[in-house]
Chain A
Amino acid sequence: MSQIGVDTLRKEAWDKVTGAAKYNSDRLESNMLNARILTSPYAHALIKSIDTSKALKSDGVLAVITGDYLPVLTGSIIEDRPPIARDKVRYFGEPVAMVVAHSEQEVMKATKLIEVDYEPLPVVNSINQSISSQAPLIHENIGKYFCPDTTVQPRAGSNLLDHVRIRKGDMDRGWNESDIIIDLKTFLPQSDHLAMETRNAVAEILPDGRVVISTSSQAPFAVKEEISKIFGIAEGDIIVNVPYVGGAFGGKATVDLEFLAYIASRAVGGRKVRIANSREEDISSSPSKVGTESTVKMGATNEGIIKALEATYFVDCGAYAGTGPRMAKAIASDCTGPYNIENVHCDSYSVYTNHSYVTSYRGFGHVAFTFAMERAMDKLANSLNMDPLDIRMKNAISEGDTLATQAKITLSNTGDLKACILKLKESINWEEGNRIVEPNGMIRAKGIGCFWKTSNSPINAASGVAITLNSDGSINLNFGATEIGPGMKTTIAQILAEKMKMDIDNIHVFMEVDTQLSPKHWKTVASMTTFMVGNAVIKAAEDLMEQLKSLAAIVLACTPEELDVKGQRVYLKDDPDRGIQFKKLVQGYEYPGGSAIWGPIIGRGTYIMKHLVPLDLKTGKGKTGVSWTLGAQGVEIEYDPIRYTYRLLKAATAIDVGKVINPKTARGLIMGGMSMGLGLGTREEFIYSDNGMLENTSLRTYKLIHFGENPEYIVDFIETPQIDGPFGARGLAEYGILAIPGALANAISLAVGMDFDKLPISPELIWKTKTGGKYDSL
């Protein structure tokens, strides 16, 4: 039976419904010490003094650590962030001290006894304030930081971290050819990943100096590399282990608590120390999703063909660079959305503010430009009196077009957008009309949007797979991608089972990642695991089969070419009854009369991204990924014009994934993405007070979508194979989120009859927009 396109149950399914699945937060050992941070109550302030004496005397306390102990700067793009603040704090929630004590209770008590004297500074509380010429400097040393990413150019004496430019075609020509020009401004606030398992890490330094870290991370290899680099420890002396991860969504792709865990352990002589965020710390102290503001101007002909796009994006990276500039780059390089636009001018700026610092978040910045582009498309359609769906069809990207980065589009590296749009048209019953006034006065409205995204990965992003075998002929599969929820451990096993033509139950997957045992996988991010590890596992299967055939050829007295593999058996193609089972081969073959040959068979396979080119600093020419999965989405709402409220009726996605490996898993991922997109659209945002304090740091004030608030979900897959993908598959895990906020805003704008270019869209915002906020005494 084929394993591709089959709803194979997750390998870890029964672990997860019995409580047997262990997450890093479940690693509670009696010999562990507990660490906890004290966080800044100010968004921007000088630290005048820290008095730790009372805390040090508190019961059970072993150490109280401030930024002066092991002063280092961290950051994968710009080294600008001390793990514990020194001299000044730059955001509300920043760690200012850390206590290590025996029990959770003792550490909590002692943290409260630390006395910090702050001198508040003027706060940079918005992008506008950040770029104003009078803005206070958040980083006095901005021009002097070391930048591991050599393409970023922080501007000395400013709050500007980086500026990415896209210059494609001839803007003058584009505007000249346009009959109509529309423009808009958008605003998307910062918000949180809100993985249900808060970030947590355990560190220990062994007597011989080896550092052992276990953590809830998407990037165990990055943890190893960063700890090595920052603290000058040989990489081989660092072991990072990651068990099941309780959700991540990009938020665990950066090294964060691992630094603190290491510092804490070092401060207590290498003893094992655990640090775990409370929900409030996870929201306010650890990195969040970027905020963005944009100005978009688009020109088109009367027929609705887009001729020019000029876009400016500002990315609110918060107090430290984090991964912000890389997302700003992603926004610029894919800024057209899946539309063919010949003349593009885009500037994408990363700025510091006194907000939470940021890291990757599902969609890696693509939600921001998708929102702007999809609002722009609807405005264009509106101005031209065209059907919003038709105008997207007319401009849909296709083979032979180029990206804003001038990279070539092929059917294989994108897919068939028109097929997706047509599928969506059917699934959301577009024909019945997109704005319908019901007899009871309610307004049913539909909005749509198209999306695409690529990996924006480093040039050398790579994966490896190692396979060993058991004496019963079953396979052990080991690779470095962490199981954060999308079920990739199972997907990769499916690909292996298909390649080996064997029963997937006989493939045992190493569910954890251990950097000492598992072949490196860049990071479990960018929806690239199936693509990268899938390609590597295919190579590993080929390697394995080649060895098995070579050995079997000796035993069966034939050439390897005459052999085939199926059902854990090697056999002669022309005489399938003649063969030998894996179990007789995998640990070496033993001749009946004695003497043995070969030895344990080990399979290996690797993959590395090919032909990626960094963006040219002046024109943005380059290639940022190997594929751009694309698709179309729709949202249907029911709007109550009396109460200014709305209900979510339907959310639909039609996406070209190349090949669906596991349909139910794929559907689940797309639905989960849509759910997060609806969260961004309807409620999720960081609310900062006038002095930059984050006000909604708990799940009671930071609201998520609850059971029953979800709409009906519709998911359709189009399968235009990616030639270099495993069985034709492209990435899909993040994609459900991408155009949902834009489609929702389009639906609401249409229903209400006013423009909504800012997220989230609450009934209050609708009421204010519609009435100007009058009658609020009622």
Chain B
Amino acid sequence: MIKIAKATVLNLHINGEYREVLVKPSDTLLYTLRNLLGLTGAKPGCENGDCGACTVLIDNRPIKSCLILTVETIGKRILTIEGLKDVPIQKSFVENWGFQCGYCTSGFLMVCHSLAQIHPNANDHTIEEWLQSNLCRCTGYEEIENAIKSILTGTVRT
């Protein structure tokens, strides 16, 4: 077991690169990403696990980065919105008007991207279960639903 009792330089695997960063044991991943690495795509909306705006992928699974300590991510692959390059869900959000202010968007995109990888045939129930983790105050969610459905196999809408 690794024990980290004070500020320590860690080598984190983020968006396919290794990044050295000084981390205190109490730092959340959200804090490390935003304040130390300049990766501000993950947003604070509540810092309490309720809104999902801070969602990133850890080993391909969506995790609320306000709820995980940076030290817990040692040896794991972290993917943030900045690491998403031209994946289908981005285009789909653009074309389906999946956002207005855009503040919740990174979080939703990460959840949707992961969903599309893990459950490419997800049914309505699974989609709902996954996307209920995040909040959007601007849209009526219909746009987001259209966006995710248009990239899942079998539910393609025109």
Contacts and interface: CB of A to CB of B under 8 A. Distances in A.
Closest 3 CB pairs of A and B: A19-B41, A246-B103, A671-B140
B48 interface: yes
Nearest to B85: A18
B106 interface: yes
A60 to B, nearest CB: 14
B150 to A, nearest CB: 14
B5 to A, nearest CB: 16
Nearest to B111: A707
Contact of A28 (B40, B91, B136): B40
B65 interface: no
Given A672-B137, A699-B51, A707-B131, 20 more contacts: A14-B90, A17-B102, A18-B81, A19-B82, A21-B102, A195-B103, A195-B137, A197-B101, A198-B45, A244-B101, A246-B103, A279-B48, A667-B97, A668-B138, A675-B140, A699-B135, A707-B128, A707-B144, A710-B141, A713-B142
Contacts of B156: none
B9 interface: no
Interface string B125-149: 0011001101111111111110000
Interface string A645-672: 0000000000000000000110111011
B102 A668 contact: no
A249 interface: yes
Interface string B76-107: 00001110100000110111010111111110
B39 interface: yes
13 contacts: A23-B103, A25-B44, A195-B101, A196-B138, A244-B102, A279-B45, A279-B46, A279-B47, A668-B143, A698-B50, A704-B137, A707-B128, A707-B144
Contacts of B31: 104
B23 interface: no
B46 A699 contact: yes
A667 B35 CA distance: 37
A104 B75 CA distance: 27
B109 interface: yes
Interface of A: 9-10, 12-19, 21-23, 25-26, 28, 104-105, 194-198, 244-249, 278-279, 484-487, 664-665, 667-669, 671-672, 674-676, 698-700, 704-708, 710, 712-713
A197 B43 contact: yes
A195 B48 CA distance: 16
B119 to A, nearest CB: 15
A196 B136 contact: yes
B40 A671 contact: no
Interface of B: 24, 26, 31, 34-35, 38-48, 50-51, 53, 80-82, 84, 90-91, 93-95, 97, 99-106, 109, 127-128, 131-132, 134-145
A17 B93 contact: yes
A734 B53 CA distance: 24
Nearest to B35: A28
A744 to B, nearest CB: 15
Given A17-B90, A485-B101, A672 B82 contact: no
B145 A196 contact: no
Contacts of A668: 97, 100, 138-140, 143
Indicate the member of A9, A484, A669, A707 with the most B CB atoms within 10 Å: A707
A194 B46 CA distance: 10
Contacts of A249: 137
Nearest to B109: A17
B142 A710 contact: yes
A216 to B, nearest CB: 10
A668 B42 CA distance: 24
Given A668-B139, A671-B140, A699-B46, A18 B97 contact: no
Contacts of B131: 707-708
A700 to B, nearest CB: 5
Given A16-B105, A17-B109, A196-B101, A278 B132 contact: no
A154 B39 CA distance: 49
B49 to A, nearest CB: 8
Given A244-B101, A664-B97, A700-B50, A675 B43 contact: no
A393 B82 CA distance: 53
